[in-house]
Structure 1
Amino acid sequence: MTLEGAIGLTAAMMALAFVQQSAEHLRPAARRAERWLFVPRLVLSLLLFAAVAIGHAPPPVLLLALVANHVLILPFFNGPYNGGADRMSLLILLCVTATTLLPEVRWREAALGYLAIQLLLSYAIAGWVKIANPAWRGGETLRDVFLFSAYPAGENVRRLADRPRLLFAAGWAVMLFELAFPFAMLSRPALVAALVVAALFHLANACLFGLNRFFWIWLCAYPSILWLQDRVIG
């Protein structure tokens, strides 16, 4: 994957993810000020996607406008209200914007490479934090997630809390996968397989708990790590 191809694909996927995020804030019950923030985000994201879709490089003016819009959104919600999904959204936006503004190829590569490394660390560090926690190692954390989660999980999902062996095995599968993720960089087939598994993991969280933002925005960073693997290992 070429640098320009990875940047364009990341920008296009990010734009679609931003459209989905913006649409959540245009519901009839949304505050007027909230709509004034997310209507521009929706329009700018659609323009960005259209520009990339017809073969243009991501226009810096649209990306800078999205950055400015994001800066206005942060204080409105007293920070990244949706946690990791909002932080990843801003990270991808800033890295893609940097790739369009930096004058030298090596600097643009550094910006996209930084995004790829952050994606890799997001899995590896998550696995390390989990496996260092006795409650994760024993399966209690997953049981509590299904039993007491404030997320909109159905009763059928909550019944999984009564299957401790399944949750124990699932917890260890998640931890080992996240810790092993960096080793997938050694081979293109292994990396593709790891990204498919990671995407299915995010999809499962979206279906079980409604964490749809994590699914869409994490996928947006996948082209960067595919490019980095090509660039570093070939």
Structure 2
Amino acid sequence: MSLDDAIRLTEILLAVALIQQSLEHLVGLPDERPHYAIRLVLAVLLMVGVSPPWICAALFVNALVILRRFQGPYNGGSDLLSLLLITALFAVHLMPSARYQEYVFGYLALQVIFSYFKSGLSKVVHADWRSGRALRDVFLFSVYPVSEATRRWAERPRLLCAMSWAVVLLELLFPLALIAQPVLIAALAAMFAFHGANFVLFGFNRFVWVWLAAYPSLIWLQARLEPLW
């Protein structure tokens, strides 16, 4: 995947994620609706390819306004990644040459890799994650509107322990996926399935599209680095 193709694909997928977020907020509080109505229009324009440099600049300003409105990324990881993607694309279009664009886009990919690794590291140091108790508590006491069938997963400690270790190891070993393209594709498919499972089980719908939008940068970086191995 060329750098230009990876940037364009990132723009399209990010636009989809921002459209989803914006539609949710259009039925929110009156003072937040205008910000997300603007984001919705900008995301549609970005998706169809209307002046991406200017649209990314406008999205960056819009993101800063929304940060001020909520006093930070109120929705946690998905908002942080959205802001990272918007900022990276804005910076990419500011760069004077393809070489500097590579630096910015590579930084985006490394941040995504580090976020997965850091998430795994933060889990493995806690005994509750190593034993599966943390997942048990998630299923048992989740405040999200999950089904009774989902809550009954808390009654299967061995399965939850295996699931905990599967998630932890996948996140910790994710940086090794850069070794070869087939390994990276498999790792990305596994992580996408993980985000999809969180959506199905707990309704974490924002993570699915925004994380998918970060994947082209990883595919590009792996192809860029593979000749060095």
Structure 2 length as normaliser, TM-score? 0.96
1:114 maps to 107
Counterpart of 1:155 (choices 148, 152, 156) is: 148
- Return the alpha-carbon distance in structure 2 between the equivalents of residues 177 and 63 of structure 1: 32
Equivalent residue number for residue 125 of structure 1: 118
How far apart are residue 31 of structure 1 and its match? 2.1
1:75 Cα deviation after fit: 1.8
- The separation in 2 between residues aligned to 1:31 and 1:179, in whole angstroms, is 39
- Indicate whether 1:48 and 2:46 are aligned: yes
- 1:133 positional shift: 0.8
Tell me what 1:55 maps to.
none
What SS does the aligned partner of 1:24 have? helix
Unaligned ranges ≥5, structure 1: 53-57
What residue is the counterpart of 2:23 in the other structure?
Answer: 23
RMSD between superposed Cα atoms in Å = 1.1
Counterpart of 2:214 (choices 206, 216, 221) is: 221
User: Among the aligned pairs, what percent are the same residue?
Assistant: 50
The alignment covers a number of residue pairs equal to 227
Partner of 2:30: 32
Q: Report the 3-state secondary structure (helix = DSSP H, G, I; strand = E; otherwise coil) of the residue aligned with 1:125.
A: helix
- Residue in structure 2 matched with residue 69 of structure 1 by the alignment: 62
After TM superposition, the structure 1 = structure 2 runs for residues 165-204 of structure 1, keeping only pairs within 5 Å, are 165-204=158-197
Q: Which amino acid aligns with 2:185?
A: V
| Deviations 1:67-103, CA, capped at 9 Å, x for gaps | 1111111121121110010000000011011111110
For residues 68 and 33 of structure 1, the distance between their equivalents in structure 2, rounded to whole angstroms, comes to 17
Show structure 2 runs of 5+ residues with no match: none
Name the CA distance, whole Å, in 1 between partners of 2:92 and 2:99: 10
Moved runs in structure 1, 4+ residues, more than 4 A?
none
CA distance in 1, matches of 2:148, 2:68: 36
